[in-house]
A and B are shown apart, each in its own frame.
Chain A
């Protein structure tokens, strides 16, 4: 399997937000029955039809790398995690809609993954502070997913959705809000499914052009 054929997307977020459930839903089209703590990194593969419904349709395997842990982990754990951030083609940032801290930590997560020197063209992030302009143009495709939507009461929904809209804007990314225990949020033809498909198309385009965060 040549390295050029690999499409790798990182799934980042605080522990307990539901990354493992999300990845399972995206790859197996099933709800994860017994989520348990992720140690290290767990990978799954999603078959994606690039440009579905057009003559250029082609099937790709997208690897979803779900890296476990928290932003406040020890430096040794962070150094070990860094080995999984090689050759990225896209990042999915996952946060828990019921937990504001997990949304705030996404900035730190994105910095951790992107804070590396890049050889050819692509994202160049050198300082440790979050700066909006880094995410403006010419960046690796990002997607922000909010989980546990069902646990937000109807009255608070608008407030939460406004907040997450700002968050997604900061990252210059699309956002999807769902409940990982309910497959209907990603049902074929729904707006969420369309956004997801567009995101993966962007990732494949990015990979094909040779842009990758090393």
Chain B
């Protein structure tokens, strides 16, 4: 009966997470689209639910809820299900929906979906080769094989997002980087855009008139051929197809220009909004935060470099270290065990919540930016895949932030992975991502004012 109680409590929580994922999908991601495929929505919510359950099990570990054997059982169960989803279900459905979009392969959807899935598995397996992630004593079909590869992909993603986020956050928060945009700038650009559209219209009118004349004279499909045809085309006084193709080229160039001008105008509008926002109280608060985050970002880059150069991975977690410092240097005595448990809980809780929230926000932004009604299903499944891998790797890395006694369960469940490798890999990718983001933002920032000066 105790067992049944625990099971029902855990299932209830899982259903709760599932419901949250479902609502998030409906209200935020797909609010402008019609969901025709419930399969996609179910897969997304299930991935989200099982990922959150992993974090919930970590919290249970710290708080000592349930007994350790039942926790271990749930860990293993959850892990198996998540791996099943991430390695079998989601990639297969991604292949299936990609194939559905291509008209040619419509008939043999299942067959081609299987082919795509097998290709994915091949590359997924090959991923293990260049990395020293496993000790040779593991068999082929073990959980460790799958987890290690999922971990590599997930950690890479986390580090990329972290690096970019660490640099982008102060850049967007601080108003120091905001370019000065006046209403006159916007009006001038809008005028240029409308002038370009007018030019396109007048050229298209000429083309339309020429087509109509040619159609009425029955010349549309008669391209003069042969020797006499060439003579005839030289002497005929109509505009001729060479002139038309010249106009068409001009139209294509003007249309490209109009697209660029549109994007630039939208950019100016967005900057103007941000300038106005920065004058409000909220804006000033974020500006201040931006300075704080830039210091934090510099410190993180510095620490990553130190870790790589001196080849060290932190042995103690921040909680224990913090407590040691307070006890040894500040001379404050308190019950280490009690406090370490509660502070770990809070710290780990904050890390979990901010990383879930940050990921969901980033995914939503990506989704709005790149999806259209055709590709929305594929993109959502890709996002579910990324989310799952991200959360699995978070569990891998969070181990470092927890005191020793709580780390053991993760080590036991995930098996003997080379955890140090993952931290090193994270530092490397983080550094690369942060430095490239700085370079990228610097170039983008420099290029923008020059564009406006050319007007």
Query: Which residues of A are interface residues toward B (Cβ below 8 A)?
Result: 1, 14-17, 27, 37, 39-47, 61, 63, 65, 70-72, 74-77, 79-80, 83-84, 86, 96, 99-102, 105
Contact = CB atoms under 8 A, between A and B. Distances in A.
Nearest to B30: A101
Contacts of B32: 14, 70-72, 101, 105
B197 A37 contact: no
B31 A16 contact: no
Interface in B259-283: 259, 261-263, 265-267, 269-270, 272-273
B204 A47 contact: no
A15 B263 CA distance: 17
Contacts of B190: 80, 83
Given A40-B262, A80-B266, A101-B32, A47 B209 contact: yes
A101 B34 contact: yes
Contacts of A72: 31-32, 368
Contact of B263 (A14, A17, A40, A43): A40
Contact of B259 (A40, A101, A102): A40
B392 interface: no
B262 A80 contact: yes
Nearest to A104: B34
A75 B273 contact: yes
Contact of B204 (A1, A14, A44, A74): A44
A19 to B, nearest CB: 12
Mostly helix, strand, loop or mixed at chain B's interface?
helix
Contact of B373 (A14, A61, A71, A74): A14
In the A-B complex, the 10 residue pairs with the smallest Cβ-Cβ separation, listed nearest first, are A40-B262, A16-B373, A76-B269, A76-B270, A101-B34, A80-B266, A45-B204, A39-B259, A80-B265, A79-B269
19 contacts: A14-B32, A16-B372, A40-B262, A41-B197, A43-B197, A43-B200, A45-B204, A46-B208, A72-B368, A75-B269, A76-B266, A76-B269, A76-B273, A80-B190, A80-B262, A83-B190, A83-B193, A83-B265, A99-B34
B263 to A, nearest CB: 7
Contacts of A101: 32-34
Max count, chain B CB within 10 A of own CB: residue among A63, A83, A100: A83
Interface of B: 31-34, 190, 193-194, 197, 200-202, 204-205, 207-209, 212, 255, 258-259, 261-263, 265-267, 269-270, 272-273, 368, 372-374
Contacts of B262: 39-41, 80
Contacts of A37: 372
A51 to B, nearest CB: 18
A16 B34 contact: no
B188 to A, nearest CB: 12
Mostly helix, strand, loop or mixed at chain A's interface?
mixed
Given A42-B255, A76-B267, A80-B262, 20 more contacts: A15-B373, A16-B374, A17-B373, A27-B208, A39-B259, A40-B259, A40-B261, A40-B263, A41-B262, A43-B204, A45-B204, A45-B207, A47-B212, A72-B31, A72-B32, A72-B368, A77-B266, A83-B193, A102-B34, A105-B32
A80 B372 CA distance: 20
Contacts of B259: 39-40
B350 to A, nearest CB: 30
B205 A61 contact: yes
B159 to A, nearest CB: 29
Given A72-B32, A105-B32, A41 B258 contact: yes
A116 to B, nearest CB: 15
B128 to A, nearest CB: 38
B272 to A, nearest CB: 8
A96 B32 CA distance: 13
A100 B34 contact: yes
B268 to A, nearest CB: 8
A150 to B, nearest CB: 13
A24 B390 CA distance: 44
